[in-house]
Structures are given as structure tokens and as C-alpha cells.
Amino acid sequence: MDERQKEILKEIVECYIKEAKPIGSNYLCERFNCSSATIRNEMAVLEKLGLIEKNHISSGRVPSEAGYRYYVENLMKPKELTGEDMLKLQTIFSNQNLVVSDAILECLEIISDITNYTSISLGKESESNVLKKIQIIPLDDEHIVALVCTDKGIVKNKQFTISKLVNIDEIVKTSEIINKMLIGTPISNLSERLEYEIKPIIQEQVKQYETIYDIFYDAFNDFVSSKESFHVVGKAKMLEQPEYNDSQEIKKLVAKLEDEEAIKKIEKNESDKDISIYIGKESEFDDNVTVIKTNYSLGGEKGTIAIVGPKRMEYDRVVGLLNILNKWLEEKGE
């Protein structure tokens, strides 16, 4: 392609992203100050190359998947965030009290609001996590929350309903014994040490020890079994896009956004790039979407952050956002 053809392709992609309407030759004639014959010839070249295609309801052209791919690899430049958008993210980045998982989840909320796309995180705790503390928080006479905290800043909680026969003070006492004896224990070894080291001690010191033992066993086991987790934020944002005005398309997309196995396909797409872009069929998630993702490793948590939108996505803005997020993750990991 020559430079004018590249500029025309860039204009078609960016105008279609903005307007969601096929781009006609009349608009391009005005934009490039060329004759209609010249524009039609240039568009014919782009169509022959498979970079644009005819829309069945209009005489205009829209980008093809190959056109989007050429655009993101050769023509697009990441967009700088506005001051307002940066301020929203900075409120999360500057909050030192947030653990990693909570900070990422709040970032997803903001990214979804900024872009009007769906944000997804898939996280996996590192095997190197060790117990820092277990804390019991009484809610009322019959309910408690057990918080399990690791040295890597990962926090999990589980709520329990307890019998009136069980004294909450004895549950707290057991947590103190565990903290005294098991701090520094790898998370994967906690259940075994609880069984062989803690249970004999509380058997002598605590009434209803079996019920209380089960609470802590379940809390630790729940932590270990939930090593992999995912969050989907802004499902409804995607449904606001004009691509989803068909009820069948809506049902299909909603089902996929609620399907854990479908979402995990996003994580399986491996790449050595900081930010990876999967357009349409490349995503293995849905043929009609684009997935832009980045992987991270921070503290005791590894994971993936992905933005899911229509193929008519603001690629430059999303990549700019993920660049900022990557920079923060790198700085936080130093």
C-alpha cells in the first residue's frame, strides 16, 4: 500500500469506530480533497487486499478483521488519557491500604466506566503465599467472618453461621493459637498442620472443639481451592453497543460472559507482548468481539486483565489505558 491508501484505511477504521456507520466515498472525497474516481480506485485496492468490505445494508465500506489487524499493527498510536481519566485511576494507585486483588478490581470498574466495554480479571495466587494472620470478626451472636491474610497481601474471607452452643470467645481463642503456631506456614500446608498440631491442643482447651476446628479447616481449604478466580465488570456496557441490537446476539454474549470456561479461554491465549490484541476469531472467546489483554505478576498474585469490546473498539484508548495500568503494576512490584 502507498501512503494515501494507508491514510484512507486509517480514516475508515477510526471513523467507523466513532460513528458505527459504513464509510462512503463522498465523505472520503471531502476528507482527502480527491475526486470520487480516485477514492473509488483506492477503496477498490483496499477491498482487493481484504482490508475493507462492503456492508450489506449500505454502499459504504467497513473495516474487515484484517483491516483492524493492519490498523493496530501499523497505523495506530496509543492514546494519552485525559486528565479526568488519569485522576480516576490515580485515586486507586495512591491508595496504599488496598490489597492487590481489591486494587485491580477497582481499576476494572473505572476502566469499564471510561471505555464502556466489559473488563475482566483472571487471577491466580502464587504457591509461595504463606499465612500472615487469620482473624475472626463477629457479626452477631450467630455469624462470624474468618479473614485469611497472606504475606503477599492476598486476603480471603468466608462467613460462617455458628450454633448458639458455640462460644465466639473460644473461636477467637483458637484463632490466637493458630496465629501463634502457624504464621509463616505455606498456605498449601495449613490444613495438614491444623489437623496434626492444632487440633490436639484445642481438644484440651476448647469446648465444642470439633465444630470450631471445622470452621478453620473450611476457611483454609476455601482459600486453597479458590486459587483461581475471575471477575467480570460492566457486562451491561457491551449490550449498549449498536452491534448488540439483536436479541439472539445479546443472549449469546451474556451466556459467554457468565461462562467460566469460556472466559478462561482469554487467559489461555499466550503472548510474550506486554499488551496483546485478539480480533474476532483470533480471541477464541467470541467471533464478534475484540479482546485486549495484559498479564501481570505482582506480589503473590499472577493474572490477566482483559478488556472485551466490539471489533469496532477504540483500540488506541484501550491500549493507552493498559499501558498506564502496566506502568503502575511495574512500579508497585519494585
Q: What is the model's pLDDT at position 229?
A: 67
Of 53, 57, 55, 82, whose CA–CA distance to 67 is shortest?
A: 53
Of 79, 144, 141, 148, whose CA–CA distance to 115 is shortest?
A: 79
Domain count, the chain: 3
Condensed to tens digits (0 to 9), the pLDDT of residues 8-52 reads: 999 999 999 999 999 999 999 999 999 999 999 999 999 999 999
**pLDDT category, 272, cuts 50, 70, 90?**
low
162 and 240 fall within a common domain: no
User: How many C-beta neighbours within 10 Å does residue 218 have?
Assistant: 14
Q: What is the model's pLDDT at position 176?
A: 94
Provide the CA 104 distance to its chain's centre, in angstroms.
8
Q: Is residue 126 part of a domain?
A: no
Mean pLDDT of the 309-332 span: 90
201 and 185 fall within a common domain: yes
Of 12, 6, 109, 73, whose CA–CA distance to 319 is shortest?
A: 73
Condensed to tens digits (0 to 9), the pLDDT of residues 204-259 reads: 998 889 999 999 998 888 776 655 567 889 888 888 888 888 778 888 888 888 88
40 and 89 fall within a common domain: no
User: How many C-beta neighbours within 10 Å does residue 324 have?
Assistant: 20
161 and 32 fall within a common domain: no
Q: Which domain holds residue 18?
A: 3-75
329 and 291 fall within a common domain: yes
Q: Is residue 18 part of a domain?
A: yes
Q: What whole-number percentage of the chain has pLDDT above 90?
A: 47
> C-alpha distances in angstroms, 39 versus 25, 46, 122, 136, 163?
6, 11, 45, 71, 78
Q: Is residue 137 part of a domain?
A: yes
